[in-house]
Amino acid sequence: MIKKVLISAAGRGTRMLDLAKDKPKHLIETNGKPFLYYLLANLKEAGFKEIILVVGYKKEFMEEFLAKFNSEFNITLVNQFDILGEDRYGTACPLECVADMLKGESFLAVYGDNLYSVEDLKRLNIDDEYSYVAGLPHKNPENYGVLQTDENGFLKEIIEKPKEHVGNLINTGLYKFTPEIFDYLDKIELSPKGEYYLTDVINLLAKQDKVKAMDLKGIWLDFGKPDDIKKVEEYLNNNAKETN
């Protein structure tokens, strides 16, 4: 069984506008607790025992969060800015920060601004030789990364925000990785936007037929924009048992 989870939470949360001006967006409160708390609670209920939380922006607030809630969760803080500096940016960076810590074992990887059902988190606890990407059918796939799979469920490629329709199964940012993911970190190139993308790493691994796609059965809530706060609160109010 997989016990460890990597949570990426170093970003500045610019889409949250002024709400994330003075603290990480992951700590914006919903129903009286920081959003991150609910993600951690679901991971714990799903059976994941050890959390590695990669932070950066306003890390002192993450330290305060840890001091308040670490009695409930087993969390290790890793400061991305201390390891890579503040000029190296992108979704692949948290992996770089934990390569030594997670070397030789499989783990779950999520973003700190996403919420998934306990059921789906349990379903992704698959201790085999493959990595997994969780997907979800969406009516507007052009706004996301779209998963291209073969008839056997193997991922062939993640196409970011395609201009033409290539499918409707989108990447939800929930992954199970084998240690092989680290072998491809130094093989990706800087994007035109000046970032290092995790999806580029996954695409390299997928070319070796080492990545499978899995459809989510439950919810996926993105906590990226001010409007998302109300959506999350409504979900929490209607699903108290799942996020208690």
Q: Where are the domains of the chain?
A: 4-129+173-210+219-238
Q: Are 169 and 136 in contact (CB under 8 A)?
A: yes
DSSP line for 132-191: EEEEEE-S-GGGSEEEEE-TTSBEEEEEES-SS---SEEEEEEEEE-GGGGGGGGG----
- Mean pLDDT within 18-29: 85
User: CATH for 4-129+173-210+219-238?
Assistant: 3.90.550.10
Class of residue 98 by CB neighbours under 10 A (exposed 0-12, middle 13-18, buried 19+):
buried
* Res 22 pLDDT > 90: no
pLDDT in tens, 115-150: 999 999 999 999 999 999 999 999 999 999 999 999
This model's pTM is above 0.85: yes
- For the chain, give percent helix, strand, coil, nearest 5: 35, 25, 40
Sign of torsion, CA 60 106 199 82?
Answer: positive
Residue 21: per-residue pLDDT: 79
The two three-digit tokens of residue 133, written as one number: 């990407």
